[in-house]
Amino acid sequence: MPNEYAMLRKFFLTFSALFLLPFAAHAQEAAEQPAPAPASVPAEENILYLDLSTGGRVAIQLFANLAPAHVERIKTLTRQGFYDGQIFHRVIDGFMAQTGDPTGTGTGGSDLPDLKAEFGKFPHVRGVVSMARAASEDSANSQFFIVFYPRFSLDGKYSAFGRVTSGMEYVDKIARGEPPLNPSRILQASIAADNKPPVLPGPGTGLSEKPITVDDLNAPINP
């Protein structure tokens, strides 16, 4: 009797092992499968276009991996039309051209909250686009500047969020001054993924560069 019991037990264990083995292998294989990769973001989603009154379109590669919050802010304001028509109110030869202030004075910004600093390791070389700020490191809002020539002293102090990849010649033509006597402006800002056609200055466009007066710079902002 004990021998029969032992044989039955051995048979049951062997049968169970053979029956359950494929399921265990399948479960292990499923566990080892990598999680589905998130949908990739189209490259055009992180390219900013600035159509300038100086004559052409500037393309800027946005650093979504280095300054995600700042890139998202720029994209949000761009899609709101916030930058359209804004002047370069502070342009220092050999240094940078600054814009993004709806008042044109350097003291304004958007209605969105200020951003926490994202000081990355990308150096402020020619063509880098970085956020302007006040004394506080966490005071960037909407204003940004484009660097004419390398300024490594800015590294670790300002949040660089992109770099010009084409059209730097139009940046070089931006009128100098603080503010310039006849400021250059952004005719249209857009994200490449939105496929907006360029807006260029010239006859028939209604967007030719026109002189900016002191009264324009000091005019109140209408709600």
Backbone φ and ψ of 60, nearest 5°? -125, 120
DSSP structure string for 141-193? -S-EEEESS--GGGTTTS-EEEEEEE-HHHHHTSPPBSS-SS--BEEEEEEGG
Q: Is the dihedral of CA 177, 95, 149, 170 positive or negative?
A: negative
Q: What is the DSSP pairing of strand 160-166 with strand 57-62?
A: antiparallel
Residues belonging to the chain: 223
Is 34 inside any structural domain? Answer: no
Element containing residue 130 per DSSP (H, E)? strand 128-131
Residue-range definition of the domain harbouring residue 193: 43-218
What does the pLDDT profile of the chain (223 residues) look like in tens digits? 555 555 555 554 554 544 444 544 444 544 444 444 445 778 999 999 999 999 999 999 999 999 999 999 999 999 999 999 999 999 999 999 999 999 999 999 999 999 999 998 899 999 999 999 999 999 999 999 999 999 999 999 999 999 999 999 999 999 999 999 999 999 999 999 999 999 988 753 434 444 555 454 454 444 3
Sign of the Cα pseudo-torsion (185, 83, 105, 125, in order) = negative
Closest to 99 measured CA to CA, from 51, 154, 29: 51
* DSSP states along 3-46: HHHHHHHHHHHHHHHHHHHHHHHHHHHHHHSPPPPPPPPPGGGG
| Number of structural domains the chain divides into | 1
SS3 of residue 128 by DSSP: strand
* CATH code where residue 55 lies: 2.40.100.10
Does residue 76 lie in a domain region?
yes
Residue 12 lies in a domain: no
Q: Is 17 part of a structural domain of the chain? A: no
pTM of the model: 0.74
Cβ distance 168 to 127 under 8 Å?
Answer: yes
In a domain, 128, yes or no: yes
pLDDT of res. 36: 45
Q: Is 85 helix (H, G, I), strand (E, B) or coil?
A: coil
In a domain, 181, yes or no: yes
**pLDDT score for 2:** 53
Q: How many CB atoms lie within 10 A of CB 149?
A: 12
* 23 inside domain: no
Is residue 20 assigned to a domain?
Answer: no
* Helix (H), strand (E) at residue 2: helix 2-32
